[in-house]
Structure 1
Amino acid sequence: MSEHSSAEPRTNKKPSNSHLLLAAIAVVALIIVAVFVLANKESKPAENTKFRQDVVVPEETPKTVVNTARTEAKSQQEERIVESPEVETSEPVIEEPVVTEQPVARPVEPVETVLPTLDDSDTSVRDSVANYLSKQAMELLVTEDMVRRSVVFIDNLAQGKIAKKHYPVSKPADNFMVIEDDIIVTDPNSFERYTPYVNMLNSMSTAQLVRLYEQYKPLINEAYEEIGYNGSEFDYTLQEALGELLETPIPESSLPLIQESVTYKYAYAEWEQLSDAQKLFLRMGPENMKKAKKRLQAFQRALAN
């Protein structure tokens, strides 16, 4: 029997190199497939875009864990911010004291004095003047028809005249006296007769004089109209009367006199030619004239303002 007729393979024959190479390749392939399968199990499967277009899947809202204590505190803080939008929460709120406005007191309007009629005005005028003068000074006043008497007297003074029947004050109790020597001069004691009148004038302030005049001005104007003038023009007449007296010069020494029957006149023409109102003023004497002029000047300025 020859070698080639045997059909049974030999069991101890070694595998060839090509068979070993195929086996190694198969093992490596299996390992690669196993790794690929395991990796795909952890990743998400690829989405089917066509299926997503046809089917709408509702999205799940993510649930958030809420801290209720923190939420309530934040809500309260927001409420405070809404109530006080102008207050910054980072700074302390300082409450200002509430100031209650006090009602403004209205000035008390002066009560208008109701004047009596001109015929019944003596009591009112006398009582008003008595508020400023002493009892002794009040005794110098003529208290009958006081407004009319004063208006007529002042109107005559403005013309340089003396209305003897309308003196607003009583005449001096003592008579005029002179000293007769080489020349005749006025006795200085005669000047003292007018001192109470000057004191009466100076016992009232300028403001009081103006107040009395303004208070009874309606009655004064009425009395001025009774003697034929425009009542509103009495202010000018009063200024003229004051000016007449203030223009009287004050002598620096005794003035010589000349006797004529029972009367006297000034020896020098410059003094004798003065108006009757100015010569009456001269009889007060230099000291009384200075005091009276000072008050009359202040009264004149006050009336002009």
Structure 2
Amino acid sequence: MENLEPTNKIEQGKSDKNSGPLIIFIVTFILVVIAFWQFSGEKTEKRAMDASELIKQEPVTPVPSQTESQEDQQALSDLPVRDNRSDNLLVNTQEVVIEKKATIVLPKLDESDLWIEDKLPELTWRNELLSLLITEDIIRRFVVFTDNFSQGLLAYEHSVFIQPTVKFAVDEQSPSTELDGEQKVFKWDKETSKRFDVYVDLLRSVDSTTLVHWYVDMKPLIDEAYKELGYEDDFTYTLQQAIDRVLDMEIPKSSMDVNRSSVMYKYQDPALEALDDSDKLLLRIGKENLLIIKSVLLDINEKLAKPINDR
């Protein structure tokens, strides 16, 4: 239609005979356009709706042309991206930083000791206490000891720590009661729990976040060692069972007297003596040390739960 006015102006000086065919042509063209619009209007409208829906589903961020100035490009990049579906402003795309985690190249299980030893100083600020660790077959020791502990058993030969040099002791100065002329009941020497202090200090000095990251990184080697024991399930659940055993343990308020009818001391209270070996170890650690261990393991357990839920 925009071409009609200029055309009429150009043809204004011509005779009616010459303008007649042109007018007929224009009228015919308009009628054809009107008829086409009437018969195809619904399809055209539907295509327009489909296109608009497609635009809503897949918003397109405008890309500045090469001819735009750097200032215009910067101004465009600073604009927040609008989500057409909810009409909410999203975070600026420049503020979204995706960190690509470095690929960890793990050694073979049989060759993992030296690899772990090199990393141990990164784990704690009390490096002088690392001498408490047994650095031979570390992963297998950790897996076997944890598996046994979760079942209430103690596999000392597979412990990752050297055993305390100070042995369990009773208070020889405390009053004792003689039973049947053979057994004597002794008060438990609470000072004997201090032999575990250095182990607790090492655990307390460990950075829990780093420790959990290590665990996740070394999980393939841990799973390999766990499968060697004949298991097919996830070792992390066994580890959490062991942690839960510690968290659920409570030191009894009653006196933990012991007797000695043979080489080994036994608890005078039948309920304490009936406890699993792992629980008896927690009793010997002492209340103060157990509370510290619980605090550390609770933090570790919460961080361990996140990788599990993400899998």
Q: Assess same fold via TM > 0.5.
A: yes
Partner of 1:116: 107
Partner of 2:211: 209
C-alpha separation in 1, matches of 2:303 and 2:97: 29
C-alpha separation in 2, matches of 1:98 and 1:247: 63
Once the two structures are TM-superposed, the CA of residue 194 in structure 1 deviates from its matched residue by: 0.3
Partner of 2:293: 292
Residue identity opposite 1:204 in structure 2 = V
Say if 1:98 and 1:288 are closer, same or farther in 2 by CA, change over 3 A.
closer
Once the two structures are TM-superposed, the CA of residue 97 in structure 1 deviates from its matched residue by: 9.0
* SS of corresponding position for 1:274: coil
- Conserved 8 A contact 1:251-1:286: no
- 1:162 and 2:154 matched: yes
1:145 alignment partner, one of 129, 137, 159: 137
* SS of corresponding position for 1:99: helix
Say if 1:99 and 1:141 are closer, same or farther in 2 by CA, change over 3 A.
same
Q: State the structure with more CA Rg.
A: 1
Deviations 1:272-297 (A, max 9, x none): 11110010111111110111111112
What's the TM-score, normalizing by structure 1? Answer: 0.64
Residue identity opposite 2:115 in structure 1 = S
- Aligned identity (percent) is 37
* SS of corresponding position for 1:121: helix
Residue identity opposite 2:213 in structure 1 = R
- Conserved 8 A contact 1:252-1:286: no
C-alpha separation in 1, matches of 2:258 and 2:241: 29
C-alpha separation in 1, matches of 2:300 and 2:99: 29
2:71 alignment partner, one of 68, 84, 98: 98
Aligned residue-pair number: 209
C-alpha separation in 2, matches of 1:106 and 1:288: 42
Deviations 1:83-110 (A, max 9, x none): xxxxxxxxxxxxx993343896964522
* SS of corresponding position for 1:98: helix
Stretch deviating more after TM superposition (168-177 or 181-190)? 181-190
Deviations 1:219-271 (A, max 9, x none): 000000011111x4211111111122222221335411111311101111221
Partner of 1:40: none
Stretch deviating more after TM superposition (106-115 or 207-216)? 106-115
- Conserved 8 A contact 2:190-2:286: yes
C-alpha separation in 2, matches of 1:240 and 1:109: 32
Once the two structures are TM-superposed, the CA of residue 186 in structure 1 deviates from its matched residue by: 2.2
Once the two structures are TM-superposed, the CA of residue 175 in structure 1 deviates from its matched residue by: 1.4
Say if 1:254 and 1:200 are closer, same or farther in 2 by CA, change over 3 A.
farther
C-alpha separation in 2, matches of 1:164 and 1:273: 20
Residue identity opposite 1:257 in structure 2 = V
- 1:125 and 2:126 matched: no
- Provide structure 2 residue ranges, at least 5 long, that are not aligned to the other structure: 1-68, 78-92, 177-184, 307-311
- Conserved 8 A contact 1:201-1:295: yes
Partner of 1:233: 234
C-alpha separation in 2, matches of 1:128 and 1:220: 16
Residue identity opposite 2:161 in structure 1 = V
- Conserved 8 A contact 2:123-2:211: no
- 1:190 and 2:192 matched: yes
Greater helix share, 1 or 2? Answer: 2
Partner of 2:261: 260
